[in-house]
Amino acid sequence: MTLLVRPSAPDADGVVIDVTPASAGWTHVGFRVVRLRPGEHYVGGEQGREACLVLATGRATIIAGDTRFDAIGGREDVFSGAPTSVYVPAGQTYGVTAETPVELAICSAPAAGRKPVRMIAPHQVGEETRGQGTNTRFVRNILPDTSDIAESLLVVEVVTPGGHWSSYPPHKHDSDAWPHETQLEETYWHRLRRPEGFAMQRVYTDDRALDETMTIGDGDVVLVPRGYHPVAAAHGYDLYYLNVMAGPRRAWRFTTDPAFAWLSGVTR
């Protein structure tokens, strides 16, 4: 399995990243990035899969089912505050028309279609600071497990200052061991404030049957099917990532690598 997915040139629909359960070799998480020029249109929606449309940058009009949201969003870049997002239940079609240049992240997971269409405005995104020292990072909770908007999806943004660590101490969520740990697939979509820079991410298991360390460029996606998955941002290069998680249970419970457990009280 290839854990590092790099963006391509936009296809006819503007798609530059397309991670499906089939391409990832797993069951739940789908992730797509679409780039649109002003006036361009994107149509989506799947039976049996809900979606969270995150307006990473730009302003768009979004129609989901019978609900219309005119000229929403407007974030200049992913480092400029919380995003505007739209939740679309399973079985609903949606259309996105770009009012300005738009970068749209489409997060999806299995669902039954029990929830209504919802817009998640920036002021509705919970923000928190995690860690301290060079483990400090800034979290924006779009669809946390405390929210009842979605059936399966968990969606969060994280900004990690240059020279800092994130998703650290290393933790995993690949076992169904409720209430201590939940089984969640995960994608990381990485952006750098200065796109010529880089970051690093390691994905590894206790037995090292999986142990990969990747150099991350602007726009890359890392797949985390299992194992621990810490991230490091190079000095001088602030890092953003958008996490999408889903699994059999909509809850985020994790286990810290025992070798790093001593850090949990001071850097979590």
Residue 181 zone, left/alpha/beta (φ > 0; ψ -120 to 50; rest):
beta
Place of tokens 């697939």: 185
Residue 266 is predicted with a pLDDT of 57
Contacts for 135-141: CB closer than 8 Å, 24+ residues apart: 135/164, 135/165, 135/166, 135/168, 135/267, 136/161, 136/164, 137/161, 137/164, 137/166, 140/82, 140/83
Residue 29 is predicted with a pLDDT of 98
Nearest Cα residue to 200 out of 186, 215, 212: 215
Residues 123 and 136: their CA atoms lie apart, in Å, by 22
Residue 267 is predicted with a pLDDT of 60
**Domains along the chain?**
4-267 (2.60.120.10)
**β-pairing, 30-36 with 41-44?**
unpaired
Residue 264 is predicted with a pLDDT of 75
Residues 156 and 234: their CA atoms lie apart, in Å, by 21
Per-residue pLDDT of the chain (268 residues; tens, 9 = 90+): 689 999 999 999 999 999 999 999 999 999 999 999 999 999 999 999 999 999 999 999 999 999 999 999 999 999 999 999 999 999 999 999 999 999 999 999 999 999 999 999 999 999 999 999 999 999 999 999 999 999 999 999 999 999 999 999 999 999 999 999 999 999 999 999 999 999 999 999 999 999 999 999 999 999 999 999 999 999 999 999 999 999 999 999 999 999 998 987 656 5
